[in-house]
Chains A and B, each alone.
Chain A
Amino acid sequence: MQRTVLIIEDEKLIIVSTQMVLEAAGFRVESATNGEDGIKQARMQAPDLILLDVMMPGIDGWETLTRLKRDRDTSDVPVVVFTAREHARGHQKSAEMGAADYFRKPFEPDELIELVEKHVG
């Protein structure tokens, strides 16, 4: 069965490029452009992995992560947090909040595929 990755990210360009990379690697990619929509989609689609941006208008990535982890329907889905490169403490914070991993933007396509495969297995 095709595995699904949900990306929650406000920048359309990042969504499109991530989609291109992951689809070429054989994943199905769904997307949401803000946290609230992302949570709704996560509950409906039960994705295998969520890629989550931190800096978003509305509820930010950290708040989104908290809500995903609190909700029984989504708490088991591994979440990978996208952090900006300059946030040195991003890694620690994402681990503390229950994220499976973190990823720094901007990324290399191959690194992204490797990371997704690691968590989707």
Chain B
Amino acid sequence: MTIITSIMDGVVSVDRGGNVTLMNPVAEDLLETKSFVAIGRSLKSMRGQSELLAALVEDYARIAEQREISRTVEIHDAEQDLLYIRCRTNVVYDCRGRLAGAMTLLRDVTAEFKTDQLKNQYLSIVAHELRTPLTGIKTFATMMGKGTLGELNGRQEHVCESIREQAVRLEHQIDKLINLGNLESEDYGQDREVVAMGEFLAGILLPFEQLARDRGVSLSLKSEADGVALFADRSDLRRACQALIENAVKFVHDDGCVRITVVPEEEGLRFCVSDDGIGVDPRYQRRIFEQFFQVEDPLTRHHGGAGLGLFVARSVIEAHGSRIEVSSQLGHGADFSFMLPIYRPEHSGLATETDND
């Protein structure tokens, strides 16, 4: 009991009938009610923080089926400031395994939320500010290279081309930053079409080959998917696959091994990226898919990146109605995989419908 009283999160528990059995001081503050008023009563009939109470009432109505509900609720506090409260509700069973009620943890995540927003805005501004001068550099180098400003000798032409190439490279880096930073999951998967896997997979390793060679990493693709097609957003799917590959190439040891396998199975096409790298601590196996999350281990600090690759991969795959599974043991590599339904032409009527959505 002392632990629940002094815990930093709000804790509320209800019995099977939805009547409150426990409410700690943090939950009292967030719900703007008192436990001596609340205990024994249903949240439905209670006065207090209406947005949060309504959310909990809704969650308790569904919790028996769903077993776990997690969501972030926007509320206005007494000063009308916007707060973000993460509510995580789980079912509770009694000692005989029968449904006994539910328990909710409430956490104020406003600070994290605002940091995320700031990071997004910052990325947008930086990208815009960097792109404008780059457009200039690229255009001038192109025009000069073409001889528009006077004839060049071979070496000068070569230098112009090199300026141009580097500008294009920078531009891609910026695109990457902004694409990854700005989009919410609902923006993915909009442009679906029939994607032939043979062609799709043909160049997929290309961006990583140099890096893999430099580090002595063996990078291989084994596909049994020639002749198989998916109904998917081609560029988003490519981004998701490449994010998984990039992640593996990043976390594998020098001279390690990254294997991509694409295999049609009964329920769909399985895409799997395996590496024999440092692996993912079970504690973080869900969190690595969060935006900006990085495992804060001094050993892995030098890996860099914005913490967005896996977030994007997850968003894309979820937008396609599936999810990414991780299986890993710390120190023994990791498997990241997902499965998408195989496109079958006889279902094309359905596919067109989805397309028009």
Instruction: Give the B-binding residues of A (Cβ under 8 A).
Output: 11, 13-14, 16-18, 20-21, 24, 55, 84-86, 88, 105-109
Could you say which of B136-144, B240-248, B328-336 contacts chain A? B136-144
Please give, as numbers and ranges, the residues of chain B lying within 8 Å of A24 by CB-CB distance.
Answer: 143, 146, 148
Additional pairs, 15, CB under 8 Å, beyond known A14-B135, A21-B139, A24-B146? A13-B133, A16-B136, A17-B140, A20-B139, A20-B140, A20-B143, A84-B128, A86-B178, A86-B179, A88-B190, A105-B131, A106-B135, A107-B135, A108-B138, A109-B139
The docked-state distance in angstroms from the alpha carbon of A20 to that of B148 is: 9
Q: How far is the CB of A7 from chain B (nearest CB, A)?
A: 13
Contact partner of B131 among A20, A88, A106, CB < 8 A? A106
Chain A residue contacts of B132, Cβ below 8 A: 11, 13-14
A13 and B179 contact, CB distance less than 8 A: no
Task: State whether A17 and B128 are in contact (beta carbons under 8 Å apart), knowing that A86-B179, A88-B190, A109-B143 are contacts in the complex.
Answer: no
Verify if B163 is at the interface (C-beta below 8 Å from A).
no
Is B116 interfacial (CB-CB < 8 Å)? no
Considering the complex, give the chain B residue whose CB is closest to the CB of A11. B132
Interface of B (DSSP majority class): helix
Complex Cα distance, B149 from A17, in Å, reads 13
For B142, the chain A residues whose CB sits under 8 A away are: 108-109
A87 CA / B117 CA spacing, docked (Å): 18
- Chain B interface size, as a band, is 20 to 34
Most central of B136, B139, B175, B183 by chain A CB within 10 Å: B139
Known: A13-B135, A14-B135, A20-B148. A106 touches B140 (CB 8 A): no
Shortest Cβ distance from residue B339 to the other chain A in the assembled complex, whole angstroms? 27
CA distance A20 to B175 in the complex (A): 25
Residue of chain A at shortest CB distance from B167: A106
Partner of B187, one of A11, A55, A88: A88
Q: How far is the CA of A105 from the CA of B136 in the complex (A)?
A: 11
Residues of A within 8 A of B187 (CB): 88
Find residues 128-166 in chain B having any chain A CB closer than 8 Å to their own CB. Answer: 128, 131-136, 138-140, 142-143, 146, 148
- B148 / chain A contacts, CB cutoff of 8 Å: 20, 24
Known: A85-B175, A88-B190, A105-B131. A17 touches B139 (CB 8 A): yes
Contacts of B128 in A (CB 8 A): 55, 84
Q: Which of A13, A55, A84, A85 contacts B136 (CB 8 A)?
A: A13
Chain B residues near A107 (CB-CB < 8 A): 135
The answer for the CA separation of A109 and B131 in the assembled complex, in Å, is 15
